[in-house]
Amino acid sequence: MLTSKGQRGDSERFNLAGFDGYLTKPIDQSLLYNTFLEVSGYNEDNKQSVNSLHPRELPQFKARVLVVEDNAVNQKVAQGLLNKFGIQADLAGNGEEALHALKNMPFDLVFMDCQMPVMDGYEACTQIRNPTSTVLNRSLPIVAMTANTMQGDREKCLSVGMNDFISKPVNPIKLKEALLKWLPKCTSDVVKPKCEQTVVRSLSRGRL
């Protein structure tokens, strides 16, 4: 369903009417892409996507993740994907809200949009990494999520203290790779070998 007159509750009403997806016009390219993934169950390589898999087939994480994103539909898509991995996903609409959340609640990972009103992701990350910051964990992993894929964007994200970079629209397979890389708290047999390798490497380096 495509409509130029979106109203609160439309998504639920259209779902009950039998529609598999719902977008408001003008249509954002990244949202359209994610909607295709949602309704088809396949990614661009024609492989089964995260959305089409049962949680028992996916690595499950005992983790709490903060998604910092100003677009409500993008928030819903990200939260739905993360829930598939057993992750509790909290939402913040801009960098200022993210700072408030990080000062009051412990998180294991942050997915940070870069372009947002009030406070963008670059400024938010700079403040999180500031030695005088009052957030609970100044060194927690921060993964940038941005629609900007120009040369130098990744370097800009890393220069302000972000740990990694994934482009929007978010590829579910890339999301899984980021989770496996930055969330060590594995709770399912699917990712047990990865956990064991991490522990072995840490022991060999004297980090445990």
Q: What is the pLDDT of residues 18-27, one digit of tens each?
A: 887 777 777 7
Rounded CA-CA distance 114/122 in Å is 6
Helices marked H in the chain: 10-17, 29-40, 72-84, 95-104, 121-129, 153-159, 172-182, 192-204
What pLDDT was estimated at residue 201? 41
Q: Dihedral angle at the C-alpha atoms of 116, 71, 150, 176, nearest 10 degrees?
A: 120
SS3 (DSSP) at 124: helix
Rounded CA-CA distance 72/31 in Å is 11
Rounded CA-CA distance 113/92 in Å is 10
Give mean pLDDT, residues 116-129.
Answer: 96
Rounded CA-CA distance 123/121 in Å is 6
Statement: residue 185 has pLDDT above 60? no
Q: Domain-by-domain residue ranges, the chain?
A: 42-192
42-192 maps to which CATH number? Answer: 3.40.50.2300
The CA distances from residue 72 to 16, 121, 166, in Å, are 20, 16, 19
The mean of the pLDDT values for the chain is 79
Give mean pLDDT, residues 188-195.
Answer: 45
Share of the chain above pLDDT 70, in %: 72
pTM across the whole model? 0.67
